[in-house]
Amino acid sequence: MSSTSLETIAYREIRERIMRAEYMPGSMLSENELAALLGMSRTPVRAAVSLLEREGLVGSFRGRGVMVKEVSVHEFSEMYEVLVSMQLFVLDAAAKRQLKFDIATMEQLLEQQQSALEQKDYYGYYNSNLQFTETILGTIHNESMLQIIELYRGRYVFTTVSYRIKYPQYQPSRSIQTNRGILEALKRGDIAVAKAAVASQYSDTHEQFILHGLMK
């Protein structure tokens, strides 16, 4: 097996563990321990850590190891605003261009999100939620928008999942309600209602940021 493929395996495995919040913000990781866990040498692990560092998920400290970085409420809020803005644009653009939304995929993702909610699988819940948004954005085939989603994915999912684990009293529910509203509106061809659902969740979430720093 090539070192490149080992690097990819290490990157994907460590990244998913972070996104699942198996390593919480502020956790210190050792390259030696990660290498032993993954059954490989430190070389591909070090390369994977460099990729994760560029993605903003970790920071390397000489002599101390690798620290899982915390995403600030401000940074998360900025990412969320970009995602909302892109959704609103795509809903309008798709309507003007008379493009069809992938309703079947959205229904499947909503089912996955519901199942994850029932099982308290926060990773599955928020990952499905982001994929739902990604499916909407994919309607107009704008690769730059999809690249932004990929750029945000690790930090977005990690932040929401780690928050739920840290504060279990705040249970997720709003995003799945919003997604249901969007889906039903798109089935009827009612773009205005779909946009209103997106905007309403943004308004509520932004208020939580201001008042409590919570993610609803």
HSE of 145, CA atoms in CB hemisphere, 13 A: 21
pLDDT (average), residues 32-57: 95
Please tell me the predicted confidence (pLDDT) of residue 204. Answer: 73
Please tell me the predicted confidence (pLDDT) of residue 215. Answer: 46
Same domain, 84 and 152: yes
Number of domains in the chain: 2
Which tens digits make up the pLDDT trace of 50-60? 999 999 999 99
Please tell me the predicted confidence (pLDDT) of residue 213. Answer: 52
Same domain, 85 and 154: yes
HSE of 182, CA atoms in CB hemisphere, 13 A: 29
- Containing domain of residue 53, as a range? 3-68
Question: Does residue 18 form part of some domain?
Answer: yes
Among 35, 68, 101, the domain-final residue is 68
Same domain, 109 and 125: yes
Which tens digits make up the pLDDT trace of 195-204? 999 999 887 7
Give first-to-last CA distance, the chain, whole Å: 44
Asked whether the predicted pLDDT for residue 87 surpasses 60, the reply is yes
